[in-house]
Structure 1
Amino acid sequence: MTRIALAGIGKIARDQHVPHIAANPDFELVAAVTGHRPPEGVPGFRTVAEMMRAVPDVQAISICTPPRGRLALVEQAVAHGLDVMIEKPPAATLSEAQAIVRAVAGAGRVLHVTWHSREAAAVEPARAWLAGRNIRRVEVNWKEDVRVWHPGQAWIWEPGIGVFDPGINALSVITRILPRPLLMETAELRFPSNRDAPIAARLSFDSGGVPVAVEFDFDQRGPQSWDIDVETDDGHLQLSMGASKMAVDGVAQDVGDEAEYARLYRRFAECLSTRASDADLTPFAHVADAYLLGRRVEVGPFEE
C-alpha cells in the first residue's frame, strides 16, 4: 500500500480524490498540503517540507492545486523522494508542464499526468471500435455552465484557462480515440469583455485528412453537452455524457460504469508498480496551439 498525500484541498479534491483514494486498497491518505481545512482525520500542513518532517513515510503526492506554480511544488516533492500524480491541466504553461516532466524524470521518480476524461467508460471501447475504420469527419460539442462547476472560483478566469478547463477534457478524449495525430488549422476564442480567459472557443483540426470540428462553451444553461460524433465508412459513433456513454448507429453499447477517478488511481498504482511514468502532454499542447493561432473575439461581460 502506498502512503499518499494530497496537495490542494478544493472542490475536485473533496469530491473526487478523497473518496476514490479511500476506496482503493492500493493507497492510504496520510497527509494533506493545504492552506484550507484538510480532509477529516488527515493532518494538514502548509508545505511539503513541513509535511515530510511530521510524516516522513509519505511515498507519493497527488497534486490538485490550481495550475499556476506547480513546478515549484513538484520540485519540492521529488526532492523529498515522492512520486507524483497531477490533476489536469498539469501547469499554467506548456513550458512549465515540460519542466515538470523533466524534473520528475531527473529525480528518478514516477509521474502520472492525469486526464480524467480519458478514463471515462466509453473511451477505450470507442478507440477499439474506430481502429481499422475509415473516419470521414468528427464533431465535438463540449458545453457546460461555469456557474455550476466552478462557482465563485476566480482562478478559472486566469489567462490561459477559462473554457479550456472543461475543453481540455474533450481534447484528451479525441487525442486518445482517433488513430492519427491532430493538427490545428484555425481557432476562434471568445473573451468576455471583463475577463482574461475565453468563455467559448471554436477550433478546427485536421487528422490525417479527416476534418475535426470542435465547439466549446462555458456559458451553457440547462442540460450540459459533452458529446463527440464520429462518422466512418462503417457506421456512426456517438459518445455522450463526457464519454461515459457510447452508441453505434443510434444503438447504445454496454461500456460499464466505473468512475473516472477510480480508474485514475488504479492507473497510478500500475505506474508505481512498474516504475513507469505516464506523462502525455498532447491535450495541453493543443490548448497552447489554440492561443497561438486563435483569433480573439470580444463578447459581452460575464457575470456570476
Structure 2
Amino acid sequence: MIRIAVIGVGQIARQQHLPALENDPDFTIVAAVSPVPVALDVPVFATLAELRQCDLMIDAVALCTPPALRYGLAHEALASGWHVLLEKPPTVTRSQAGSLSRLADDRGLTLFAAWHSVYAASIPVLREILPALSIERVTIAWKENAEKWHPGADWLWRDGALGVFDAGINALSILCSLSPEVILYDTALLSFHGDQRAPSQVRLAMRGSETGLPISAEFDWRHEAASEIWEIVWYAGNGETVILSEGGARLHRGSREIVLAEAREYAGVYRHFAALIREGRSSLDLRALDLVTDALAFGTRQNPQRYLRTN
C-alpha cells in the first residue's frame, strides 16, 4: 500500500480527500499536517517540517492547502523523496509548475495535478458524443456562494489568490480535457467586491485555436440563489444541445437525460495517482491554469456595482 500524508485538513480535505483515501485499497493514511488542531485517527503535525522530522514511513503526500502555499510545500515534499498530489490549481504560475516538474523528474518521483472535475461521471460519455457533433459554440455558467463551500476562508481574496477562478477553473479543466484543439483566451471582465484583492465575478471569452469555436463563461462566487449552477452547454449546428450540469454529475442530450454511474470524482483522482506511482510517471496538465492566469493578467477590472449580474 502507498503510505500517504494529507497536508491541509480544511473542508475539502475532510469532505473529499480523506473519505476517498479511506476507501481506496491502494492507500493508507499515516499522518496529516494542519496548523489548526484537528482530531484524526492518525498523527497530526503542525508543519511539514515536523512531519519530515518524525520517524513515520511516508511514500506520498496530498497537498490540500490554499494554492499560494503549494509550491513551497511541494518542493519540500519532493526533496524528501515523496510523490506529490496537488489539488487544483496545482500552482499559481506556470514557472512554479515547471520547477516542480524538473525536481520530480530528477528524483524519479510522481507529480500529479489532480483536476478532480475531469473524473466526473459524464466525462467518458462526452468523449464519445462530442467528436461526432459539429459544435458551433460553447457556454459555461459556474455560480456558487464561496461562503458555503469555503466558510471564513479569507485567503480566497488576498493578493495572489484566484478568487472565483478557484471554482471556475473546474469548468475550464473539463473544457480543456474534452477539446480536440487548444483553447485560447480572448477577453475577460473581472469584478471585485469591496476591498477584496481577487475577483468574485468574471465574464470570460475564449475560442478554439484551429476552428475559432466561440466559448463564453460566467463565473460567480457571490451567487445568491439556493442552488448552485455548474453547467456547460455545447451547441451543435443541427440545433442539438449537449448539457453537462451539476458539475458533471448529470448529462442531457437535447431533452433526453443520459443515465450515468454514481459520481465519485476523488475516487478517480486517487485511482489515477496510484497508477501513476506504479508506472513511474507524472501528469501535470496546465491548460486550465494558463487560461486563468491569462485572464488575471490581461482582463479588464471593474467595480462590482457596474457588473451586470445574470443569475
- TM-score band by shorter chain is over 0.9
Matched, 1:192 2:199: no
Matched, 1:218 2:205: no
Distance verdict in 2 for CA 1:61–1:138, change over 3 Å: same
Q: Which runs of 4+ in 1 moved over 6 A?
A: none
Q: How much does 1:39 deviate?
A: 4.8
Pick one of 293, 297, 301 that aligns with 2:298: 293
Distance 1:39 1:116 in 2: 26
RMSD: 1.6
TM-score by length of 2: 0.92
Matched, 1:246 2:251: yes
Report the residue type matching 1:272 in the other structure. Answer: I
Q: Which residue of 1 aligns with 2:276?
A: 271
Residues 239-267 of structure 1, C-alpha deviations (whole Å, 9 max, x = no match): 00001111101211122113111111111
TM-score by length of 1: 0.94
Q: Which moved more, 1:59-68 or 1:38-47?
A: 38-47
Residues 218-259 of structure 1, C-alpha deviations (whole Å, 9 max, x = no match): 111121100010012353110000011111012111221131
Secondary structure in 1 matching 2:281: coil
Q: Which runs of 5+ in 2 are unaligned?
A: 307-311
Q: Which residue of 2 aligns with 1:21?
A: 21
Report the residue type matching 1:181 in the other structure. Answer: V
CA contact (8 A) 2:36 2:46 kept: no
Distance 1:28 1:89 in 2: 24
Report the residue type matching 2:214 in the other structure. Answer: P
Distance 2:50 2:164 in 1: 35
Q: Which residue of 2 aligns with 1:148?
A: 148
Report the residue type matching 1:163 in the other structure. Answer: V
Distance 2:146 2:70 in 1: 23
Distance 2:199 2:75 in 1: 30
Distance 1:79 1:300 in 2: 47
Q: How much does 1:102 deviate?
A: 2.4
Matched, 1:283 2:282: no
Q: Which residue of 1 aligns with 2:309?
A: none
Q: Which moved more, 1:85-94 or 1:184-193?
A: 85-94
Map of 1:118-197 to 2, 5 A cutoff? 118-159=118-159, 160-197=161-198
Equivalent residue pairs, number: 301
